[in-house]
Amino acid sequence: MTAQESGGTDQSTTAPEADPHVTDPHVTDPHVTDSDFTDSDGEVRSSVDPAVPTDPAAPTDVTALTHLTGSTGSAALTDRDVTRLIPRQPSAERSAQGDISLDGVVSRRGGAGRDGGAGRDGSAGRDGSDDRQGDGGGAADATAAGAAEGWGHRHRQLVGSAAALVVVVAGLVGWVAVHALLAREQLDQARSRIAVLQRQVLTGDIPAQAELRAQVAAIGTRARSARSLTADPVWSVFGHLPWAGCPLRSASVLARAFGTMTDTGLPAVADLGDGLNPARLRHQLTINVNALAGARAPAQRAAAALDALRAAAQAAPDCGWIGRVTGVSAARAEVVDRGERLAGALDTVSLAARIGPGMLGADRPRRYLLIVQNPAESRANGGIIGGFGLLTAQGGQLTLSGISGNGSLPGGPTQASPVLALNGSFAARYGAFWPDRVWANANLTPDYPTAGRLYTGLYKAGTGVKVDGTISLDPTALAYLLRASRSAVLPDGQVVTAGNLVDLVESKAYATIPTVAGRDRFFAEVGQAAYAAVESGSGNTTKLLSALTQAAQEGRLLVSSNHADEQDALSGTALGGALPTGNEPYLAVVTQNAAASKLDYWLRRRVSYQVRPMPGGAGAVTIVVKLTNTAPDGLSAYVRNRGDEENSDGNPLAQNNIWLSIYTGRGSLFAGARLDGHYIAMDAGTENGLPVVSTYLTLDRGQTRTLVLKVLEPHAEPVVAVRPQPLPFPEQILVQGVRVAPPWSRRAIDRRQGS
């Protein structure tokens, strides 16, 4: 072996012969790989300790060492740097040289072991005379100190860089948070102002144009501010983060859509101010048809912009749980809902502007049969005809004449011959009741366009007068009009108010007026007095429009036209009252009096609808209908009448007889029914393509009967269209598992058009 120099003293050791029973850990350790002994450049690292001088024959790059350390004596190098600067021994020498093992056995370096020879720095071993006092020992200490100092410097740099990064990220997060709060504040203010605008359009309370333009401008300013706050590069970068960035992306989409809508749609709303301002639109019972016609184009432009807003909001990501936590999901749903409602209101304005002038006699006089229904004897869209009159419209001016009770029906209660041909499923369902001859049965169908044609046919058969359409309303709708104007005063001085009108004409009149002729006169007087109250002009236009809107939404105000284009436009609205034509889930519960009594004033109805999704997209539906007869003692024989029985003995127990029908969605299947816990058979059929099942049931005084119906809907959609029946006391409806939409809402109509 070669002698090594250390501290000026020559020492040499000769490696003993290797013991074959001693295991070399560097050879046999399976966890040690070749990569553990190579540099990044693939060369084998030297196993020589940097503190041990090497063979003088091997040159040392002192220049490089000096360049890195700054001097030849101090070391500011890492262990790795020092190792790389140590000259490589020739491979033959390297293989011949051994190591010093900790226990004195021969290892790769050679030299004395722990108890005998040279230590790591070339001095005496642990039990020798010298202990790391040579120059080699000082170099090792300097190297270790330098390495520690270098690591500390790098550690401080790393900590400082991390701290700076945390500060920057925190600042950016704060920036986004502040912008989010500001954007939300701006959108909240804009939404609240749109809510005001929505209410004004829905109720017809359109302010003057200057005020309306100021409202629109304020909404636009806030919407553009929110759009700007959510459009900067920092917001965009954070929005691209997975999961956590979803609410930012969604908010940005909503803000952009909102801003676009205010730029393109709301200015059109401002243009409505001139034509639809109540002060200009109506004077008593005269409507400004020119102003109404002028509202069509701006209403259509605004509705189109709101449709775009709604579509963009629906396309924005919902973001799931994080969307609910951050409020983005709620904001998205509100934009969709509010946009839909305002667009629906503008659709109504657009429709009124399109067909209203013609129906109000802008080109030629129009005549309409006005029908006042009586829900005390219920029918599908209200009640039997209780009174009637002829409404004439000319140039927007309305006049009412010939108000009479049902004792004076043209041609009598029953016509001598049919006035229309009944076909198909309609004839199969209603033909036995003569709806084409009997006034009281013309509206057995819930499809008001069909009822309107029957009414006009009956009126023409009885009078020879061809009318342009019909208008049906019930006492509750009249009460709404009185509430919006003033009380009605009868010829004898009796005051009829919004609060007592319904009870007066549907109940008390039968107790206080004993004859049919006397009640006919009374009903006619109430109708004339109510018309005079509305005609007086004392009512606020906005309140009157609100009253008409509420009546239409509840099915208490219905209009038909014998002009095809007008009827087509009306059929898709609550005012038209048509049965739906699409494939959406649908529910309509209809109770009709089958005894010719007036006991339905005392009928109370509760309905529940529950859907459970099924494999394949279908829905298992359970419908529960509860009917209660609350009739008191002491009702007159006329009210308790059982015209369906020959020997009713005056029906002292006030038993009612009801024809109950349930309509469900197109393609749905009836799966069984139980009445009061017992399985029953029901008559099944269709009307306008809608499945309908029906049964008769009697109700004793104080009795509640429960029908449970099982139905399989082919499409378990998130929305069910529910059609109300106008009753003296509104029914209670509970829907579980899906949202409820009126069958004439934009949501239901859009789904029909997409089917």
DSSP of 529-558 = HHHHHHHTS-S-HHHHHHHHHHHHHTT-EE
Q: Is residue 574 part of a domain?
A: no
Residue in the structure block whose two tokens are 């109404």: 292
Dist. CA 167–CA 538, nearest whole Å: 68
Of 46-60, 87-101, 186-200, 548-562, the range with the highest mean pLDDT is: 548-562
What is the Cα–Cα distance from 441 to 429, expressed in whole angstroms? 12
Q: Which residues pair with 561 in a beta bridge?
A: 469
pLDDT band at 541 (very low <50, low <70, confident <90, very high): confident
153 lies in some domain: no
Least confident of 296-300, 336-340, 435-439, 557-561: 336-340
pLDDT 10s digits, 672-685: 999 999 999 999 99
Is residue 154 in some structural domain? Answer: no
Looking at residue 350, what is its pLDDT? 80
- Does 501 have pLDDT greater than 70? yes
Note the pLDDT of residue 297. Answer: 78
Inter-residue contact 686 to 674 (CB < 8 Å): no
Q: Which residues contact 360 (CB under 8 A, 6 or more apart)?
A: 287, 289, 292, 366, 393, 395, 396, 398
pLDDT for 378 beyond 70: yes
| Element of type H or E holding 608 | strand 603-613
Reported pTM: 0.69
Residue 54: the pLDDT is 43
pLDDT score of 69 more than 60:
no
Q: Rounded CA gap, 579 and 588, in Å?
A: 10
In this structure, are 212 and 246 located in the same domain? yes
Residues 584 and 548 in one domain: no
Statement to judge: residues 297 and 393 lie in one domain = no
- Domain boundary pick from 534, 569, 604: 569
The predicted-structure confidence for 107-148, as pLDDT tens digits, reads as follows 443 444 444 444 444 444 444 444 444 444 555 555 555 655
Torsion on CA atoms 36, 37, 42, 48, rounded to nearest 10:
150
Whether 712 shows a pLDDT value over 70: the answer reads: yes
Q: Are both 591 and 562 inside the same structural domain?
A: no
Q: Render pLDDT for 324-340 as a digit per residue (tens, 0 to 9).
A: 765 666 666 766 776 67
Q: Is the pLDDT of residue 729 over 60?
A: yes
Lowest mean pLDDT among 326-330, 355-359, 475-479, 528-532: 326-330
pLDDT in tens, 445-482: 999 999 999 999 999 999 999 999 999 999 999 999 99
Distances (CA, A) of 677 to 6, 259, 499, 735: 109, 57, 39, 21
Residue 508 is classified by DSSP as I
Beta strands 732-736 and 397-405: pairing type?
unpaired
Residue 520 shares a structural domain with residue 607: no
Least confident of 360-369, 425-434, 732-741: 732-741
Residue 433 phi, psi (nearest 5): -100, 0
CA distance 37 to 94: 14
Rounded Cα distance between 150 and 82, Å, is 13
Q: Name the pLDDT band for 282 (thresholds 50, 70, 90).
A: confident
- Residues 668-681: b if buried by 16+ CB within 10 A, e if exposed: bebeebebeeeeee
- Residues 52-71 have a mean pLDDT of 39
What is the C-alpha separation between 590 and 447, in angstroms, rounded?
Answer: 12
Q: Among 117, 133, 149, where does a domain finish?
A: 133
Does 143 map to a domain? no
The DSSP annotation for 709-739 comes to EEEEES---SEEEEE----SSPPEEEEESSE
Note the pLDDT of residue 346: 74
User: Quick check: 93 pLDDT over 50?
Assistant: no
Q: What is the pLDDT of residue 251?
A: 63
218, amino acid identity: A
Q: Are residues 349 and 238 in the same domain?
A: yes
Residue spans of alpha helices (H) in 40-78: 62-69
294 assigned to some structural domain: yes
State residue 742's pLDDT score.
82
Residue 658 pLDDT more than 90?
yes
**How many angstroms separate the CA atoms of 270 and 207, rounded?**
9
Asked if 446 and 588 count as a contact pair (C-beta separation under 8 A), the reply is yes
Task: Report the candidate in 412, 399, 465 with the shortest Cα–Cα distance to residue 439.
Answer: 412
pLDDT tens digits, 585-618:
999 999 999 999 999 999 999 999 999 988 888 9
Q: Give the dihedral of Cα atoms 451, 457, 463, 464; nearest 10 deg.
A: 150
pLDDT value at 302 more than 50: yes
> Are residues 520 and 601 located together in one domain of the fold?
no
Say if 140 falls within a structural domain. no
- pLDDT class for 201, splitting at 50, 70, 90? low
Which of 525, 542, 569 is the C-terminal boundary of a domain? 569
Looking at the structure, do residues 323 and 403 belong to the same domain, yes or no? Answer: no
pLDDT at 66 over 50: no
Give the chain's radius of gyration (CA, Å): 46
* CATH label of the domain that carries residue 448: 3.40.630
Alpha carbons within 13 angstroms on the beta-carbon side of residue 743 total 28
Q: Which residue has the higher pLDDT, 267 or 401?
A: 401
Shared-domain flag, residues 119 and 212: no
Task: Evaluate whether residue 157 is within a structural domain.
Answer: no
276 and 219 share one domain = yes
- What is the residue type of 54? T
On whether both 211 and 248 belong to a single domain, the answer is yes
**What are 271-281's pLDDT values in tens digits?**
665 656 666 77
- Percent residues over pLDDT 90 in the chain: 43
Residues 663 and 690 sit within 8 Å (Cβ to Cβ): yes
Burial of 218 (0-12, 13-18, 19+ CB in 10 A): middle
Backbone angles phi, psi at 519, to 5 degrees: -70, -35
Domain that holds residue 600: 580-754
Report the domain count for the chain.
4
pLDDT > 50? residue 92: no
The reply to whether 204 and 226 lie within a common domain is yes
Average pLDDT, the chain: 74
Higher-pLDDT residue of 177 and 264 is 264
pLDDT at residue 506, as a whole number: 95
